[in-house]
Amino acid sequence: MPDFTLTTLDISAVVIYALVIFGIGIYFSRQTEDGEDYFLAGRSLSWGLIGISLLASNLSSSSMIGMAGEAYGGIGLAVFNYEWMAAMVLVVFVLFFLPSYIRTGIYTMPEFLERRFDGRSRVYFSAVSIFLSVVVDTAAALFAGALVVELVYPDFPMWGTMAILALIAGAYTIAGGLKAVVYTDAIQGTLLLIGAGAVSVMAWNAIGGWDAVTAITPPEQLSLVQSYDLDPNLPWYQETGMTGLGLFTGVFLLGFYFWTTNQFMVQRVLGAKNLDHGRWGALFGGLLKLPILFLMVMPGTFARVLYPNIERADQVFPTLLFDLLPGGFRALVLTAMLAAIMSSVDSTLNAASTLVTMDFFKRKNPSISPKALVRIGRIVTFACMVFAIAWSPVIIGFDTLWSYLQTTLAYVAPPALALFILGVLWKRANGTGAIMGMSAGHLTAVLFLVLGPIWTAQTGAPLAPIFGMSFLYLAGLLLIVSMVVMITVSLATAPPDPEKTADTTWTMAFWRDETAALAAKPAWQNYRYQAVVLVAMTVVLVTFFW
């Protein structure tokens, strides 16, 4: 095992990085005058900033640590299914959902539900979103950072590490808002890719080639889609012809929630200077997801050769970092890892602050001054930061960071997702159907959450047919329950006001008008062509590693 000791060069790189990030936060704090500046960067973001910020915010809480850990001791390369599926989700997002979000000029995703349905859905979903932002996203990012620091300073308490990381990220987020977040994300995302690439190349050189991996790794662990008995979560039912059910009932749905309705991801797209930049940025973010297989998943398989007896899989990537890279490179990658943590923490804190401020304070006090909104947003950011620090130790009870993230989302996200799918694609859905559908889905989730452990304990079955089912199948079931209730109640009650659906639903008339507008653009600016290229590249990559 490597010597987890920081050199002077390592420490200096981290200190310089922290000073740069603080400087950015202070700089943008001077340009923040109202709520639109603070929460949506003045709606001035270009596609490049949006794309790299989406990547950095998404990957930071789980990728370098969580995905390498899953590749090492979990489901192997199949963990990459979450990444390539994101590219497909983003194509659907820019086609059907983003236009409605931009047209309505919303600040938050719950605000969209009020525009489409009513205030009940907004308040309910805002509460759910705040919970997920703080308890899932922020807490997981802090825990990931604490794992890295624990290797270097094993006697330093993890809660202390998480508190320091939260204070650093919270400081510049409180000061500069979304614009500070996005610009620091651009730095962090670049460091993230360079650092992960350095570790992957060095690990590849250390093992001597692919033969060393195949010699000790079961073939199914090197495939994206595995057999049911080996991986009940992402199975390939060869005997029945049902192809990768878990990919669609869980991976796609959880990705769909994350990329199309999650405030902390969608917020930077809402800050785009126009619809074109929002679409180009989202597709660029999807493109950046494809190399993750080689940069952040493969190192976990390489580590099987180098370190066959690591006790906790989440320690794989830090072990590679300290063992293989010399001081100069290690300083760069260590900074990238901390940057990854900061990127997720700043994004989730800013999102939670936006939700609380705009969905509760602003909604109750429409005449509140712009400066007061910014002040409230900063106070809320601090409060969310403190709560995330307190909650983070709960994650220790899960096998891996990745399992914590995905399992929690599977129970909470699908009922909310039903509102967005039917709300954008079906004009007949109404407010009563929406609130009843989401409530029914979450009540069903509570039922499974309570009875699932009891069922598994009594039957001893890891994949019991009813209450012990995999979380990826449960996600699909919860979505169906919510949609059925929502459709039934909507049809049994009065249709929505046409004003509710005018700008919030997708129609073929919109598609035809858009086609005419795109005809005047060069092909390279046509997001539809860009989407086709992204889908083609994804299909080639997935087919090769099928």
- Dihedral angle computed from the Cα positions of residues 300, 305, 311 and 315, in that order, rounded to the nearest 10 degrees: -40
Task: Tell whether 247 is covered by a domain.
Answer: yes
How far, in Å, CA of 447 to CA of 435, rounded?
Answer: 18
Task: Tell whether 207 is covered by a domain.
Answer: no
CB–CB of 330/195 below 8 Å? no
Task: Tell whether 281 is covered by a domain.
Answer: yes
Residue, of 51 and 430, whose pLDDT is higher: 430
At 159-169, the pLDDT tens digits run: 677 777 777 66
So what's the pLDDT on residue 243? Answer: 40
Count the neighbouring beta carbons within 10 Å of the beta carbon of residue 144: 30
Task: Tell whether 521 is covered by a domain.
Answer: yes
How far, in Å, CA of 449 to CA of 177, rounded?
Answer: 36
- Cα distances (angstroms) measured from residue 362 to each of 107, 261, 365: 11, 21, 5
User: How many distinct structural domains can be found in the chain?
Assistant: 1
Examine the pLDDT at 239 and tell me if it is beyond 60: no
Examine the pLDDT at 224 and tell me if it is beyond 80: no
Find the range with the poorest average confidence among 24-33, 55-64, 256-265, 386-395: 24-33
At residue 494, the 3 state secondary structure works out as coil
Examine the pLDDT at 227 and tell me if it is beyond 50: yes
So what's the pLDDT on residue 88? Answer: 92
Examine the pLDDT at 103 and tell me if it is beyond 60: yes
Task: Tell whether 140 is covered by a domain.
Answer: yes
**CB-based contacts of 321: which residues, under 8 Å, 6+ apart?**
199, 330, 333, 334, 337
How far, in Å, CA of 66 to CA of 72, rounded?
Answer: 10
Which among 128, 30, 17 has a CA at the least distance from the CA of 356? 128
Task: Tell whether 58 is covered by a domain.
Answer: yes
Mean pLDDT of the 259-263 span: 85
CATH of the domain at 152: 1.20.1730.10
Task: Tell whether 132 is covered by a domain.
Answer: yes
Mean pLDDT of the 334-350 span: 67
The residue whose two tokens read 């994804």 is: 538
CB–CB of 318/65 below 8 Å? yes
Please provide residue 293's backbone torsions phi and psi, each rounded to the nearest 5 degrees: -55, -45
Count the neighbouring beta carbons within 10 Å of the beta carbon of residue 3: 7
- Cα distances (angstroms) measured from residue 6 to each of 151, 223, 231, 461: 10, 36, 38, 45
So what's the pLDDT on residue 176? Answer: 52
So what's the pLDDT on residue 257? Answer: 87
At 19-66, the pLDDT tens digits run: 776 676 666 655 555 445 555 555 668 888 888 888 877 775 456 777
Domain that holds residue 122: 8-194+226-292+338-396+507-544
**CB-based contacts of 510: which residues, under 8 Å, 6+ apart?**
99
Find the range with the poorest average confidence among 100-114, 287-301, 400-414: 400-414
Mean pLDDT of the 214-243 span: 56
- Cα distances (angstroms) measured from residue 164 to each of 3, 169, 228, 309, 386: 24, 9, 43, 31, 11
So what's the pLDDT on residue 464? Answer: 45
Winning range, highest mean pLDDT, from 13-22, 38-47, 117-126, 526-535: 526-535
Count CA atoms closer than 13 A to 502's CA, side-chain side. Answer: 5
At 487-519, the pLDDT tens digits run: 999 999 999 998 888 888 998 888 898 888 888
Task: Tell whether 78 is covered by a domain.
Answer: yes
Mean pLDDT of the 234-257 span: 58
At 289-301, the pLDDT tens digits run: 999 888 888 888 8
Mean pLDDT of the 438-451 span: 86
